[in-house]
Amino acid sequence: MPDRIYAPFLNRLAEIVGPGCVLTDPGRIHGYSHDEFSLAEIRRMPEAVVKPGRTEEVAEILKLADEYQVPVTPRGGGTGLCGGCVPAPGGIVLSLERMNRILEIDRSNQVAVVEAGVTLMEFVRAVEESGLSFPPHPGDESAMLGGLIATNAGGSRAVKYGGIRNFVRGLEVVLAQGSIIRLGGKLMKSSTGYNLLHLMIGSEGTLGVITGATVQLLHSPRFSRSLVVPFPKIEGAIESVPLLLERGVLPLAVEFMEREVIRITEVYLDKRWPSSTGRTDLLVILEASSEEEIDRLSELVAEVCLENGAVDVYIADTAAKQQLVLEIRSKIYEAIKSQTIEILDISVPRSEISGHVRFIGELEEQTGLWLPTFGHAADGNIHTHLMKARYEDGKMIPLPEEEWKPKIERVRKELYADGKKRGGVISGEHGIGLVKKPYLSLALDERQIELMKGIKRLFDPHQILNPGKIFD
> Distance (Å, rounded) from C-alpha 366 to C-alpha 360?
10
Residue of 384, 388, 469, 376 lying closest to 431 (CA atoms): 469
Residue of 177, 185, 175, 186 lying closest to 211 (CA atoms): 175
For residue 228, list its beta bridge partners. 283, 314
pLDDT in tens, 266-322: 999 999 999 999 999 999 999 999 999 999 999 999 999 999 999 999 999 888 999
**Which residue ranges does the chain devote to CATH 3.30.70.2190?**
223-327
pTM: 0.95
**Which residue ranges does the chain devote to CATH 3.30.465.10?**
102-219
| In the chain, % of residues over pLDDT 70 | 99
Predicted pLDDT of residue 360: 97
Predicted pLDDT of residue 3: 57
CA contacts within 13 A on the Cβ side of 178: 12
Q: Tell the CATH topology of 102-219.
A: 3.30.465
Pinpoint the alpha helices (H) of 93-233: 120-129, 145-150, 158-161, 196-200
Predicted pLDDT of residue 220: 86
In the predicted structure, residue 178 carries a pLDDT above the cut 60: yes
pLDDT bucket at 5, cuts 50 / 70 / 90: low
H or E element, residue 280: strand 280-288
Least confidently predicted of 136-145, 171-180, 459-468? 136-145
In the predicted structure, residue 221 carries a pLDDT above the cut 90: no
Mean of per-residue pLDDT scores for the chain: 95
pLDDT in tens, 240-267: 999 999 999 999 999 999 999 999 999 9
In the predicted structure, residue 1 carries a pLDDT above the cut 80: no
pLDDT in tens, 45-102: 999 999 999 999 999 999 999 999 999 999 999 999 999 999 999 999 999 999 999 9
Exposure string of 141-173, with b = 16+ CB inside 10 Å and e = fewer, is eebbbbbbbbbbbbbbbbbbbbbbbebbbbbbb
Predicted pLDDT of residue 7: 87
For 334-421, give the CATH class: alpha beta
Which one of 3.30.70.3000, 3.30.70.2190, 3.50.70.10, 1.10.260.40 gives the CATH number of domain 223-327? 3.30.70.2190
> Distance (Å, rounded) from C-alpha 169 to C-alpha 401?
47
